[in-house]
Amino acid sequence: MNNSDGRAGPRSLELFATASRVIPGGVNSPVRAFSSVGGKPPFIRSAQGATLTTEDGVTLIDYVGTWGPALLGHGHPAVVEAVCKAAQDGLSFGACTGAEGTFAERLCMIVPALRNGLVRLVNSGTEATMSALRVARGFTGRDKIIKADGGYHGHADMLLVAAGSGAATMGIPGSKGVPAGAVQDTLLVPYNDLEAVRECLHTHKNQVAAIILEPVAGNMGCVPPVAGYLEGLRQLCDRNGVVLIFDEVMTGFRISLGGAQAHYNVTPDMVCLGKIVGGGLPVGAYGGRRNIMQCVAPLGPVYQAGTLSGNPLGVAAGLATLDILEREKPYPQLATQTVKLVAGLGALAKRHGVPMSENHVASMFTGFFQAAKVCNYADARQSNLEAFACYHREMLARGIYLAPSQFEAGFVSVAHDDATIDRTLAAADGALKVVAQTIG
Ligand code: KE4
């Protein structure tokens, strides 16, 4: 192995064997197992800025960014310092702290859906979406929810649904262990299809509590909303008394400081946050209109709780992250670097005759291995997954760490400078040459 080959070396393989004896699949989250790209995952010893260092001593340029949180780059000194300082005063109290209120105030000032509203801190994106939907059901007294096919909102039972055929379909369990009853009220519509939502609301008149949506899809690969889609959803929800929930776990503080809702100027009734909001520590949040959130215990009858919710270390990391984002406003730079990367990848794919369709919004991007434009999950699934797997392996062998799935978004951080992007494009030149030979 050369010194930039990120594929699992002897030490990573040894550690994977150990982990596989005691952890399902050797991983604490399925996508990390590299199942869809082949090979075994490199084990990571440390991370700094735009790079990861593996247990085999190889330094990789990272576009996973711990699945989104590392917007500022890994191990930002001000965030690490804030966490270490908070830790000196104790790790968790399970009681009220001043910092929680300060953090909630900052969130309510920054995120449009939280302005004059209420927000509750939790420990993951899954908790945020699960809780927001329970509150929407409690507030409306309705049971049905609508989600987009290919949208991922964490692993709560009601959200683990597989799409059937047809435009708007009744959810069917998307995982063993999810009872049919848990998804019987979950309706699926194609992303970016306003007519399907209109039809669904008509068919299930006065029965739908909420629509939950990634305002920029990231879990089918990066897929932006088509013009008018978010605005149309807003109108349909207003007309039908439906709670519009933007799942901004991935897009929050990524697309802009105020998230996708600020970028597209469409304010949902509720918002779910995660990833960047915790600066890399386990923090999620959900909130929105005051009259909705007043249903939440202890104010109202909708129960939700959490031992480590508002944890001092997570709040310290989140506050430090918001401080940096508000002070440095890195979004124009993030967009510039992402455009440079995506344009470079597109030119290289063209040069090598590899069909690639790029989507990007701010510092989220995906190169789909197909020629057609990707506007929803059905489009995304037309991608050449063998070509993607080959590309992933070849990039890793050249020191570039990409999400091990065609259906994930890549992330550029503040630390991805010109030299980092140039190194990435040089690696992609070689990788795409191999892909071209492979797909013939
Ligand atoms: P967590 O429970 O993983 O913190 O958040 C769930 C979630 C909710 N909403 C959106 C839009 C999300 O993207 C996620 C989690 N994202 C995945 C990757 N796309 C996390 C990676 C993983 O599952 O290991």
Note the pLDDT of residue 163. Answer: 62
Cβ–Cβ < 8 Å for 107, 119: yes
Domain boundary among the residues 297, 328, 359 is at 328
Q: Which residue lies with its CA nearest to atom 18 of ligand 1? A: 67
Mutate to test the pocket of ligand 1, among 34, 36, 67 (most ligand atoms within 8 A of CB): 67
Q: How many A from CA of 317 to the centre of ligand 1?
A: 19
Burial class (CB in 10 A: 0-12, 13-18, 19+), 308: middle
The structure's pTM equals 0.97
Note the pLDDT of residue 169. Answer: 59
Note the pLDDT of residue 173. Answer: 78
Whether 176 sits among the annotated catalytic residues: the reply is: no
How much is the mean pLDDT over the chain?
A: 96
Whether 275 sits among the annotated catalytic residues: the reply is: yes
CA distances from 332 to 72, 256, 398 (A): 14, 9, 29
> Which CATH number characterizes residue 419's domain?
3.90.1150.10
Residue 95, pLDDT > 80, answer yes
Report how far residue 291's alpha carbon sits from residue 400's, in angstroms, rounded to the nearest whole number: 47
Q: How many A from CA of 160 to the centre of ligand 1?
A: 13
Whether 417 sits among the annotated catalytic residues: the reply is: no
Q: Does 203 fall in a domain?
A: yes
Ligand 1 atom closest to Cα of 251?
11
Q: Are residues 42 and 92 in the same domain?
A: no
Note the pLDDT of residue 266. Answer: 98
Confidence label for 1 from pLDDT (cuts 50, 70 and 90): very low
Cβ–Cβ < 8 Å for 308, 140: no
Q: Does 204 fall in a domain?
A: yes
Ligand 1 atom closest to Cα of 409?
19
Domain boundary among the residues 281, 298, 328 is at 328
Mutate to test the pocket of ligand 1, among 191, 219, 276 (most ligand atoms within 8 A of CB): 219
Q: Are residues 237 and 110 in the same domain?
A: yes
Q: Are residues 18 and 144 in the same domain?
A: no
Q: Are residues 284 and 177 in the same domain?
A: yes
pLDDT digits (tens, 9 = 90+) for 161-205: 976 555 555 667 788 999 999 999 999 999 999 999 999 999 999
Asked, as a colleague might, if the bond just before 298 is cis with ω within 30 of 0, I would say yes
Q: How many A from CA of 124 to the centre of ligand 1?
A: 8
Residue 143, pLDDT > 90, answer yes
Q: Are residues 217 and 313 in the same domain?
A: yes
Q: Does 1 fall in a domain?
A: no
The amino acid present at 89, given as its one-letter code, is: D
Domain count, the chain: 2
Report how far residue 214's alpha carbon sits from residue 142's, in angstroms, rounded to the nearest whole number: 22
Q: Are residues 284 and 338 in the same domain?
A: no
> Which CATH number characterizes residue 186's domain?
3.40.640.10
| Percent with pLDDT over 70 in the chain | 98
Report how far residue 247's alpha carbon sits from residue 256's, in angstroms, rounded to the nearest whole number: 15
- Would you give the DSSP letter of residue 417? -
Q: Are residues 109 and 67 in the same domain?
A: no
Note the pLDDT of residue 172. Answer: 73
Q: Which residue lies with its CA nearest to atom 1 of ligand 1? A: 125
Q: How many A from CA of 134 to the centre of ligand 1?
A: 19
Note the pLDDT of residue 3. Answer: 82
Report how far residue 429's alpha carbon sits from residue 426's, in angstroms, rounded to the nearest whole number: 5
Note the pLDDT of residue 421. Answer: 98
Choosing from 56, 62, 185, 247, the catalytic residue is: 247
Q: Are residues 143 and 278 in the same domain?
A: yes
Give residue ranges with CB within 6 A of ligand 1.
Answer: 29, 31, 67, 124-126, 129, 152-154, 214, 218-219, 247, 249-250, 274, 408
Note the pLDDT of residue 440. Answer: 81
Choosing from 56, 193, 275, 377, the catalytic residue is: 275
pLDDT digits (tens, 9 = 90+) for 258-307: 999 999 999 999 999 999 999 999 999 999 999 999 999 999 999 999 99
Q: Are residues 180 and 321 in the same domain?
A: yes
Q: Are residues 348 and 423 in the same domain?
A: yes
Q: Are residues 81 and 66 in the same domain?
A: no
Residue 341 belongs to domain spanning: 10-71+330-439
Choosing from 63, 152, 286, 391, the catalytic residue is: 152
Tokens (6 digits) for 180:
């049919």
Domain boundary among the residues 271, 306, 328 is at 328
pLDDT digits (tens, 9 = 90+) for 43-77: 999 999 999 999 999 999 999 999 999 999 999 99
